[in-house]
Amino acid sequence: MQKVAVIVLADNETHGDMGYIANALEVTKEFKEGGDEVKLIFDGAGTKWIGTLADKQNQMNPLYEAVKDVIDGACHFCSGAFGVRNEVEKAGIPFLKDYNGHPSIKKYVDAGYQVITF
């Protein structure tokens, strides 16, 4: 069994950014379906995706819903810095703030997770 932390850093402004989030969700789903221990983390500009993905009308909502149970959280600091804290709270995603208001990537590495970023 693998231990994988998928970290979404991509913004949501371009078609290429949509490719990053689609791939992050697909990779997360693949590891989950494979019985691996996977955690999905939204950090930086990636926090802006949560409100979009949580929208039932969004084409990627079904994929988001398929992996929502393995979302570890979103960066507390970045959610505020990018003005999406309310959307993150509304989606029920916990805030991560272990290291100066940000998620601790070291925590995942120390726990044996391979880190993949999008």
Would you state the structure tokens that stand for residue 94, as one six-digit string?
A: 């916990």
Q: Which domain holds residue 16?
A: 3-117
Q: Domains in the chain: how many in total?
A: 1
User: CATH no. for residue 52?
Assistant: 3.40.1260.10
Read off the tokens for 29: 């789903």
Q: What is the spatial distance between Cα 23 and Cα 19, in angstroms, rounded to a whole number?
A: 6
- Please write the tens of the pLDDT for every residue from 77-116: 999 999 999 999 999 999 999 999 999 999 999 999 999 9
17-50: pLDDT as tens digits: 999 999 999 999 999 999 999 999 999 999 999 9
Q: What pLDDT score does 78 carry?
A: 98
Main-chain phi, psi angles of 99, to 5 degrees: -130, 100
This prediction has a pTM of 0.96
**Backbone phi and psi for residue 112, each to the nearest 5 degrees, phi listed first:** 90, 15
The pLDDT tens digits of the residues spanning 41-81 come to 999 999 999 999 999 999 999 999 999 999 999 999 999 99
Say how far apart CA 99 and CA 71 lie, in whole Å.
Answer: 18
pLDDT score of 73 = 98
Amino acid of residue 102? H
